[in-house]
Chains A and B, each alone.
Chain A
Amino acid sequence: MGAITDQELLARLPDTLIDHDNKEFYRGWLERRLVLNRCADCGFWHHAPRAWCPQCWSHNVVPTEVSGRGTVHLLIFLHQGPPAPGVDYSTPHPVATIELAEQEGLRIQSTIVNCARDDMRIGMPVKLTWVERYGAPYPVFEPAEA
């Protein structure tokens, strides 16, 4: 980290609400690294990013890269919705909540790519990959071997 300045971060994600709590999460996007908050005292991960550990109330929370491995926990298909780049509601568009391997209940929302619709299901193992959206990298998931 550090290569991407705050100015650059804000310039490349102009329509995203970035603040001091989530800036490292989004800076990670630009480096194609999925960075979530982990407590340096008790080791607990949480997301969305907050300044204090919800487990032990430590302020010593460190943005830390995750492996990108996980399983599909929730999965829906949107047949309509507000227009968005790279989102095709006619397919329909899959929206997945991924439970990450790092910790039970540590989840992130995204979509699934490189997978036929009929092969997508809750419980399937996935791994992180990146697509371009709004002119910047965006984390998505694709099938992985179990």
Chain B
Amino acid sequence: MFRNPIKDKIAFVGVGSTGFFRDANARTRNDMAIEASIKAIRDAGLGQADIDGVVGTAPAAREIVEALGLPKVTHFSNQPMPLVFGVVDAMNAVFSGAAETVLMYHALYRAPAISRSAANDPFRRGLGFGGSPAPAPTRHDPEVLGAEGYAAWMSRYFHEFNAPREVLGMIAVNERSGAVKNPLAAMREPITMDDYLSARMVREPLCLLDMDVPVDGADAFVITTAERAKDMPHKPVLIHAATNGITARNKEENLDGLRHHGQHVVLEALRAKSDIWIPDIDVYFPYDGFTPITLQWIENTGWCKPGEGYDFLKDNWDEANQRIMIDGRIPMNTHGGNHSEGGTQGSGHIREAITQLRGDAGERQVAGAKNAFLTPGGMFFNAQGLVLRTD
């Protein structure tokens, strides 16, 4: 187990994004996925004939191949979210020779059920999560599913550790402080701890400011061999280690507990595969679709012990900039995360990590950033890890 023959052999060489928006607009999911893809391919200095692999979440890969007019594609697939499922497929495709250069894309579309403005858009009728057709309606009995799962395990965390709500509030404030400097983010007004503590409850113990916002937008990436990347326009960002993780009891209500779930599998695998570990990183990207996920990642990654997240965050709080600054050096989710960009399913974290390692992050730039540590996904059936580096 935990071999890593692909280490540093595959690189991100192109990035494109539409940015993310909360407002109703008259664009489709396909429109945005195509825009991000064109931008990413051009960013890599490539054209239609250079892309022979296509991996995405949605829309269907074959639609993107057709929409972009890609003449000859030898590997194409659709992968679930968040994005590391796609990264693993794309990098393996390049490593094995199934394809030479892979376009990876991800588009998000607000569904009428979760967004009032989307509900007012008559052309979104019949769309479900992420903009795919909604399944046939069935009876609804509120359960611990999806979003409720994170609230439920946070209730368990509060029960076991008696932590104050500020432990989540610091994460929420940190994210928004990053988004203030990120033109791609949907939510760019800073928030305070008071804003957090007075926000209305939605899935108690989680409030409105514990979750990401529904958005429209798309990200895309180009992946090829590290060898080929040397001759391309941007500084290559190498995939040092990547993994997904899941345990036998992965349905929301069935987790063994806060000390054994998908994140633990990811971290054990990543620790074995990666030569770079948390003291060595320059920028940190724990997932934040819901703030309890971030808290779980921080504790499980070993920054502190289980239940000690509140003290850890307090001790590493940069009061002047209202953000988390680990050891006075390592910032977290410099782009504002899902919390402020919107529910990008990790594409934003990957885009920002690449941008930081290239040195292209403008006023968000972490000086001399070489190593980025990403842990997309939650606790149940989509925990993921990704270590990126540059020379």
Contacts and interface: CB of A to CB of B under 8 A. Distances in A.
Interface of A: 13, 15-17, 48, 54, 73-84, 87, 92-93, 95, 97, 105, 107-111, 121-123, 133-134, 138
A75 B148 CA distance: 10
Interface residues of B, number: 29
Interface stretch (B45-53, B250-258, B302-310, B325-333): B250-258
A92 B148 CA distance: 14
B253 A16 contact: no
17 contacts: A15-B138, A74-B144, A74-B156, A76-B148, A76-B155, A78-B204, A80-B202, A84-B139, A84-B140, A84-B141, A92-B204, A93-B142, A105-B249, A105-B256, A107-B254, A133-B139, A133-B141
A96 to B, nearest CB: 8
A112 B248 CA distance: 28
B140 A78 contact: no
Contacts of B141: 84, 87, 110, 133, 138
B143 interface: yes
B151 interface: yes
Nearest to A54: B248
B201 interface: yes
Contacts of A87: 140-142
B297 interface: no
A109 B140 contact: no
Given A48-B251, A78-B148, A111 B256 contact: no
B139 A15 contact: yes
Nearest to B204: A77
A17 B139 CA distance: 9
B137 interface: yes
B10 to A, nearest CB: 35
Nearest to B200: A79
Contacts of B156: 73-74, 122
B113 A82 contact: yes
A79 B253 contact: no
Interface in B112-167: 113, 137-144, 148, 151-153, 155-156, 159
B249 A97 contact: no
A31 to B, nearest CB: 19
Contacts of B253: 73-74, 97, 107-109
Interface of B: 113, 137-144, 148, 151-153, 155-156, 159, 200-206, 248-249, 251, 253-254, 256
The 10 closest A-B pairs by CB, nearest first: A74-B152, A77-B204, A15-B139, A122-B159, A97-B253, A84-B140, A76-B151, A109-B143, A82-B140, A95-B142
A74 B156 CA distance: 6
A26 B213 CA distance: 36
A105 B142 contact: no
B201 A123 contact: no
Of A82, A84, A107, the most chain B CB neighbours within 10 A belong to: A107
B168 to A, nearest CB: 14
Nearest to A17: B138
Contacts of B143: 95, 109
Nearest to B206: A76
Contacts of B152: 74-76, 95, 97
Contacts of A77: 201, 203-204
B261 to A, nearest CB: 13
Contacts of B254: 105, 107
Given A84-B141, A133-B141, 16 more contacts: A13-B139, A17-B138, A48-B251, A73-B253, A74-B155, A76-B148, A76-B206, A78-B148, A83-B140, A87-B142, A95-B144, A97-B144, A105-B249, A110-B141, A122-B155, A122-B156
